[in-house]
Amino acid sequence: MSAARLRALASTALALSTLAALTACGGTTSTATTAAALTIGPTDLSGVCPGKVTIQTDWNPEAEQGDLYQLLGPNPTIDAAHKRVSGPLFSKGSYTGVNVEVRAGGPAIGFQTVTSQLYTDPNITLGYANTDEAVQLSATMPTTAVFAPFEKGPQMIMWDPATYPDVHSIADLGKTGATVRYFDGAAYMEYLTGSGILSKTQVDGSYDGTPANYVAAGGKDAQQGFASVEPYVYSHQLPAWNKPVGYQLIHDTGYPVYASAISARTADLDKLSPCLQKLVPVLQQATVDFYRNPGPTNDLIVNAVNQFDTGWIYPAEVAAYSVDTQLKLGLVSNGTNATLGDFDRDRIARIIGITTPIFTRLGTPPAAGLTPDQLFTNKFIDPSIGM
């Protein structure tokens, strides 16, 4: 995952870990359903997909990954030692003939990028990659995105609306001169300052992932976060603050990365194509099904978090808020058409244009002559499946 995504997710973990009053829900490892005893339903992935489809995520289980955990059938196995959840792969309530394994990222993989994991472990079938990460690593570890679970990324800048009642956007915040804390090295901040939305003199890359400085500033400072988590945590579960925050998505400033795009090693794309032709529509449908009825899958996610015990605290209330917010803000949606999960070539071209000079300056230039078509394909998307 990109440094910005990793560090921002780490901030959520640290913020939540301050909530000592929270009591995690208990749970025991489920007994796996035996695939041999199951009857394959209308969608048959056997013969074209690996016997076990392994998907690497970029963080601990969370509702933003609900589409993947939706794939698991009854009684999946929670492997706390290896931070994985696995079981028969289901679609619309029926077995597909193969198994699926969803792997946690972040602390479970030593905070490495998902792309590096894809290139380290050939057993991983697919993994998350933000568009800017795919651009940055295109010369050394090329990936091709096949499904976009998010229409808009959840990353945001947040501020205190009581201190700044006239601020309704990051651009408004820029005019106040307020300090904006973020994790140093985030490509989106290079965009915000380079475009003049924020001033280089007001941004502070010393953000350590905790709410301490934000609270201590008494509302004078702003900071990065995730719209699907922090607004709820700061308003309801952080006693030292316990009031609303204002925010704007980075996406809405003109930095439209596809967050957590399901991606394959580019060299494997032809070999995987027969599988992806059937699997990607299953991913589309799983996303629709999850957001239609998130409760059971969120229960699995919370249970897995508790058993993984990595220090990440993720109560059911946050999972429910995340789903509601993703839908409310259009983080998960069909976008400009009736299809879920497809990519817009012009958006990817824009990110290439924005980030190429940034990554070149940072010493990690993209592949020479990189084009959008090298980073994504819509050929496996079923246009009839949408929210």
At which residue do the structure tokens 């000592």 appear?
A: 20
The torsion angles phi and psi of 222, rounded to 5 degrees, stand at -110, 165
Q: How confident is the model at residue 362, as a pLDDT?
A: 87
List, in sequence order, every residue forming a beta bridge with 376; answer none if it has no partner: 145
Residues with Cβ < 8 Å from 170, sequence gap 6 or more? 157, 192, 197, 198, 248, 250, 253
Any domain includes 303 = yes
**Domain range holding 186?**
155-253
308 near 80, Cβ under 8 Å?
A: yes
Q: Are residues 290 and 189 in the same domain?
A: no
Of 14, 72, 87, 41, the closest CA to residue 233 belongs to 14
Q: Are residues 190 and 219 in the same domain?
A: yes
Q: Are residues 143 and 276 in the same domain?
A: yes
Cα distance between residue 95 and residue 236, in whole Å? 40
Helices 269-292 & 316-328 angle (0-180, nearest 10) = 100
Q: How confident is the model at residue 28, as a pLDDT?
A: 38
Q: Are residues 74 and 125 in the same domain?
A: yes
349 near 58, Cβ under 8 Å?
A: no
Any domain includes 380 = no
Spans of the chain below 70 pLDDT:
1-36
Q: What is the rounded (10 degree) CA torsion for 120, 126, 129, 134?
A: 70
Cα distance between residue 378 and residue 376, in whole Å? 7
Q: Are residues 232 and 280 in the same domain?
A: no
How many domains would you assign to the chain? 2
Last residue of a domain, one of 235, 253, 271: 253
Tokens of 366: 């993209």
Q: How confident is the model at residue 37, as a pLDDT?
A: 79
Element containing residue 192 per DSSP (H, E): helix 187-194
pLDDT digits (tens, 9 = 90+) for 299-338: 999 999 999 998 888 999 999 999 999 999 999 999 999 9
Q: Are residues 315 and 332 in the same domain?
A: yes
Any domain includes 59 = yes
At which residue do the structure tokens 């953000």 appear?
A: 207
Q: Are residues 230 and 268 in the same domain?
A: no
Any domain includes 385 = no
CA angle in degrees (0–180, nearest 5) for 124-299-72: 35
Q: Are residues 175 and 266 in the same domain?
A: no
Cα distance between residue 149 and residue 261, in whole Å? 6
Cα distance between residue 114 and residue 232, in whole Å? 27
Q: Are residues 194 and 217 in the same domain?
A: yes
Q: Are residues 93 and 148 in the same domain?
A: yes
Instruction: Give the CA distances from residue 211 to residues 10, 13, 43, 99, 151, in Å, rounded to whole numbers and listed in that order.
Output: 12, 11, 46, 40, 28
Tokens of 72: 């698991």
pLDDT digits (tens, 9 = 90+) for 184-243: 878 899 999 999 999 999 999 988 878 999 999 999 999 999 999 999 999 998 999 999
Any domain includes 315 = yes
Any domain includes 381 = no
Cα distance between residue 85 and residue 76, in whole Å? 7
Cα distance between residue 350 and residue 353, in whole Å? 5
Q: Are residues 179 and 313 in the same domain?
A: no
Instruction: Give the CA distances from residue 263 to residues 33, 129, 292, in Å, rounded to whole numbers and listed in that order.
Output: 28, 6, 25
For residue 371, the one-letter residue type is T
Any domain includes 295 = yes
Any domain includes 164 = yes
287 near 69, Cβ under 8 Å?
A: no
Instruction: Give the CA distances from residue 70 to residues 283, 340, 380, in Å, rounded to whole numbers and listed in that order.
Output: 9, 16, 20
Residues in the chain, total: 387
Last residue of a domain, one of 219, 253, 287: 253
Q: How confident is the model at residue 12, as a pLDDT?
A: 52
Q: Are residues 36 and 60 in the same domain?
A: yes
Tell me the CATH number at 307: 3.40.190.10
Q: Kindly give the residue spans of alpha helices, DSSP state H, lying in 79-186.
A: 114-120, 131-136, 170-176
Last residue of a domain, one of 253, 273, 298: 253
